[in-house]
Amino acid sequence: MTPTTTADTTVAPTSSRGEVRLSITDVDAFYGRIQALRGVSLDVCRGEIVTLLGSNGAGKSTTLKTISGLVRTSRGDIQLEGQSIKRLAAHQIARRGVVHVPEGRRILRGLSVRENLELGAFTVRDGALRGRRLAEVYALFPILHERRHQDASLLSGGQQQMLAMGRALMHGPSVMLLDEPSMGLAPKLVTEIMRIIRRLNEAGTTILLVEQNARLALRLAHYAYVIENGAIRLQGEAARLREDASVVKAYLGLAE
Partner 1 sequence: MADSTPSTPPDEERRGNAVQRFYAAFESPPRRRALHLLLLAILVVTPWLASQYMTVILTNALLYVVLCLGLNVVVGYAGLLDLGYAAFFAVGAYTIGILTQQFGINFWAAIPFALAAAALAGVIIGGPTLRLRSDYLAIVTLGFGEIVRFSARNLEITGGASGLSHIPEPTLLGWYIDSAIDFYYVFAVLAVLAYIASQRLFDSRLGRAWRYVRHDEDAAEAMGINRVAVKLAAYITGAIFGALGGIFFAVNLGAISPESFSFQQSVLILLAVVLGGMGKIPGVILGAFIVVLGPELLRDFGTLRLLVFAVLLLLIMLFRPSGIWPEKRS
Distance CA 174, CA 160 (A): 22
Q: How far is the CB of 47 from partner 1 (least distance, A)?
A: 23
SS3 category, 219: helix
Q: Smallest distance from the beta carbon of 55 to partner 1, in angstroms?
A: 24
Closest to partner 1 by CB, 99 vs 220, is 99
Output 40 or 99, the one with its CB closest to partner 1: 99
Polymer length in residues for the chain? 256
Nearer to partner 1, 176 or 238 (CB): 176
By C-beta, is 164 or 231 nearer to partner 1?
164
Name the strand (E) or helix (H) holding 80: strand 73-80
**What percent of the chain is helix, strand and coil (3-state, nearest 5)?**
40, 25, 35
CB of 110 to partner 1, least distance (A): 6
If the CB atoms of residues 55 and 150 are measured against partner 1, the closer one turns out to be 150
d(CA 165, CA 100): 9
- The Cα 121–Cα 133 span in angstroms is 8
Among residues 162, 147, 180, the alpha carbon closest in space to that of 64 is found at: 180
Residues that bind partner 1 (CB under 8 A): 68, 70, 89-92, 94-95, 99-100, 102, 106, 108-111, 115, 118-120, 122-123, 142-143, 146-147, 149-151, 154-156, 158-159, 167, 171, 186, 188-189, 192
Nearest distance from residue 15's CB to partner 1, in Å?
32
The CB-of-123 to partner 1 minimum distance in angstroms stands at 4
Beta partners for 100?
177
Contacts (Cβ under 8 Å, ≥6 apart) of 5: 233, 234
